[in-house]
Amino acid sequence: MRYQQLAEEILNLVGGRENVNSVIHCITRLRFKLKDESKAQTEKLKMLDGVVTVMQSGGQYQVVIGNHVPEVYKELAAAGGFTEESKEEKPEGNALNRFIDIVAGIFTPILSILVASGMIKGFTALFTSSGWLSDESGTYHILNATGDALFYFLPVFLGYTSMKKFGGTPFIGMAIASALLYPSIVTLTEGDPLYSIFTGTVIESPVNMTFLGIPVILMTYSTTVIPIIIATFFAAKVEAFLSRYIPSVVKTFLVPTFTLLLIVPATFIVIGPIATWLSSLLGGGTSWLFDLSPIIAGIFIGALWQVLIIFGLHWGIVPIAFNNLSTLGYDPVLATAMASLLATAGTVLAIMIKTKNQQIKALSIPAFISAVFGIVEPAIYGITLPKKKPFIISCIGGAAGGGITGFFASKLYVFGGLGIFSFPTYISPTEGFNSEFWGYVIAVIVATVLGFVLTYFFGGVNQDNTPIEETGQTEEMVDNSMSKEEIIASPLNGKIIALQDVSDPVFASEAMGKGVAIMPSEGKIVSPVNGVITTLISSKHAIGITSEEGVEILIHVGIDTVQLNGEHFINHVEQGDKIQAGELLLEFDIDKIQAAGYEIVTPIIITNHDQYKKLELTVESTINQKDILLTVGE
């Protein structure tokens, strides 16, 4: 009941179900894509019991919950009717925001199972390196398969999540990835090649088979990341293109058929090899940079890691780490960041021991436990960041740990557990407990102790009963939101016609709603607002749109054109599609419609006009697409 109440309060304070485009969750956060972030009551959200803080970053409205986010998300999904199958919104903002949004959308859904598999794989390596388990025993093989299966078949999982993120059908992405890992294809790399291409260059490659006479360079796609993400990006585009032109009666099976027939060969022939070469270059470049000065690189990453977490920018490092694991067999980047998590644990432990403030002590205990297991958001947002000095000290501890990790050239051999569960992921599969592993152990100890000692003596921790620094208002917030106006742009180029002058009495009498008509000079209709296609008549001559602000718009091309049964019309959207202002919705042939004996005058109607006090029409006699046509307000 507690999670249910919290979820309902969060949903209400982000603006209600109607203000949410989509929501997912990671380990600690609810990640909303809101239609209008200004409608969210951020300060009230921050003050909720159960909410750590609120962040707006990477094109997402992030409500930080902590360890109980899965339970809250479950209740939120039930309250708002959200499903995992709902399409992700197109990322907005600058290039960095869009990149972070894409990466988070692809990796967040499988993050928990990635960590679980990595922990099993890491502990299996620990048991074998310690001599507790023989690598020839059945127990080992089952544990190894349990931990390694997800990583071997990682392209299949990413095929689902990336295809979903790009707006395509997830199972098509899984089918593409499965083809890349198909056993009979994989075994073809074991024989002698037919011949080689690009001979004498750095990308000289053997050709083991051909497709319609075209040489195919077979790559190893298990555990890879970049090839399947690029393949699904193009697959989503191809699927969307085919969906526009293949008739609805056969669309269900012909669209995936042709998508697979086009993308799978293209991936084997072009996308896969190029993406693999790029992956190798990226992995080699990362290794080269760390070889230049692993200590400086470690200090830099260790110091900034918690700052990256605050803004959600640490997701930008994840693809690099996965790429390194698949191309190099190890990763030095995330390896230098992990000690910073336990530096935070040491910092919070010092606060918990020294403070006499019962509120701070009560917050510190669960935050410390979470940080020990590598989940530092509750500690950062609830303890260290509000008090400032402890946060800076934790970054210093992270820098020290990262520098030591770099000095010992410690490496991450599998993406797995965080905090104290990270140790097995540093065990070399071939050398076991080598100096690199012990170097990481030393780095963690130094980072933790440094965070504890500096905070205890220099962290400015209050020993009296001074309450923790307030981060929000304590008085009841007053909703001063003002009524808004919405601009309805013209969907057509043409001449303005008064609605009363339209020959159809239903429109002329305003029985359908108030509005205006346009005599089009060009047979193209674009969206007048951001919104959703709520109605698309099968004859294609009429489109119903609901804007993000709730204005319901009907665009009706011609009079009695329903009798054309879609002839001379081409629609570029489907019912239920989310659309942006200016997006092409419909094309129609003016000459052929008129030759068939029909008028092309096009009414644009606000069907729920009775909900608004204000509806102003343009005073212009002619208008172009995207010019202001109507203004609707309360």
Residue 71 identity: E
Average pLDDT across the chain, whole number: 83
pLDDT per residue over 491-529, tens digit each? 999 999 988 888 876 678 776 778 999 999 999 999 999
Tell me what pLDDT residue 362 has: 76
Percent of the chain with pLDDT over 90: 31
pLDDT per residue over 155-184, tens digit each? 999 999 999 888 889 999 999 999 999 988
From the candidate CATH numbers 3.60.20.10, 3.40.640.10, 2.30.30.240, 2.70.70.10, the one assigned to the domain spanning 485-633? 2.70.70.10
Q: What is the rounded distance in angstroms from the CA atom of residue 330 to the CA atom of residue 457?
A: 38
Residue 30 identity: L
Q: Is the pLDDT of residue 232 over 90?
A: yes
Average the pLDDT over each of 2-16, 197-211, 535-549, 608-622 and give the range with the smallest value. 197-211
**What is the DSSP secondary structure assignment for residue 31, as one 8-state letter?**
E
**What is the DSSP secondary structure assignment for residue 191, as one 8-state letter?**
S
Tell me what pLDDT residue 202 has: 60
Widest Cα–Cα separation across the chain: 90
Confidence band for 58, pLDDT divided at 50, 70 and 90: low
Give CATH 2.70.70.10 domain extents, the chain.
485-633
Q: How many CB atoms lie within 10 A of CB 532?
A: 17
What are the structure tokens assigned to 550, written together? 């709730």
- 623, β-bridge pairs: 494
Give CATH 3.30.1360.60 domain extents, the chain.
2-86
Superfamily designation of domain 2-86 = Glucose permease domain IIB (3.30.1360.60)
Reduced to 3 states (helix: H, G, I; strand: E, B; else coil), residue 182 is coil
Q: How many CB atoms lie within 10 A of CB 478?
A: 6
**What is the DSSP secondary structure assignment for residue 561, as one 8-state letter?**
G
Q: Which of 267-281, 318-332, 513-527, 618-632 has the highest mean pLDDT?
A: 513-527
DSSP 254-284: HHHHHHHHHHHHHIIIIIHHHHHHHHHHHHH
195-197 and 205-207 as β-strands: parallel, antiparallel, unpaired? antiparallel
Average pLDDT over residues 535-546: 83
**What is the DSSP secondary structure assignment for residue 596, as one 8-state letter?**
T
Going from the C-alpha of 354 to that of each of 358, 455, 460, 593, 633, the distances in angstroms are 11, 9, 10, 82, 57
- 450, β-bridge pairs: none
Residue 320 is inside which H or E element, if any?
Answer: helix 318-327
Average pLDDT over residues 292-316: 80
Q: Which residues contact 259 (CB under 8 A, 6 or more apart)?
A: 172, 235, 238, 239, 242
Residue 118 is inside which H or E element, if any?
Answer: helix 111-129
Tell me what pLDDT residue 196 has: 81
R_g over Cα of the chain? 29
Reduced to 3 states (helix: H, G, I; strand: E, B; else coil), residue 40 is coil
Going from the C-alpha of 294 to that of each of 282, 291, 402, 414, the distances in angstroms are 17, 6, 9, 20
Tell me what pLDDT residue 67 has: 63
Confidence band for 564, pLDDT divided at 50, 70 and 90: confident
DSSP 196-211: EESTTSTT-EEE-EEE
Q: Is the pLDDT of residue 471 over 70?
A: no
Tell me what pLDDT residue 545 has: 92
Enzyme catalytic residues? 26
Tell me what pLDDT residue 304 has: 87
Q: What is the rounded distance in angstroms from the CA atom of residue 403 to the CA atom of residue 305?
A: 13
SS (H, E, C) 381-396: HHHHHHHCHHHHHHHH
Confidence band for 381, pLDDT divided at 50, 70 and 90: low
Residue 387 identity: K
Q: What is the rounded distance in angstroms from the CA atom of residue 290 to the CA atom of residue 403?
A: 11
Q: What is the rounded distance in angstroms from the CA atom of residue 561 to the CA atom of residue 437?
A: 74
Q: Is the pLDDT of residue 93 over 60?
A: no
Q: Is the pLDDT of residue 245 over 70?
A: yes
Q: Are 576 and 592 in contact (CB under 8 A)?
A: no
Reported pTM: 0.52
First CA to last CA across the chain, in angstroms?
37
Tell me what pLDDT residue 102 has: 77
Reduced to 3 states (helix: H, G, I; strand: E, B; else coil), residue 153 is coil
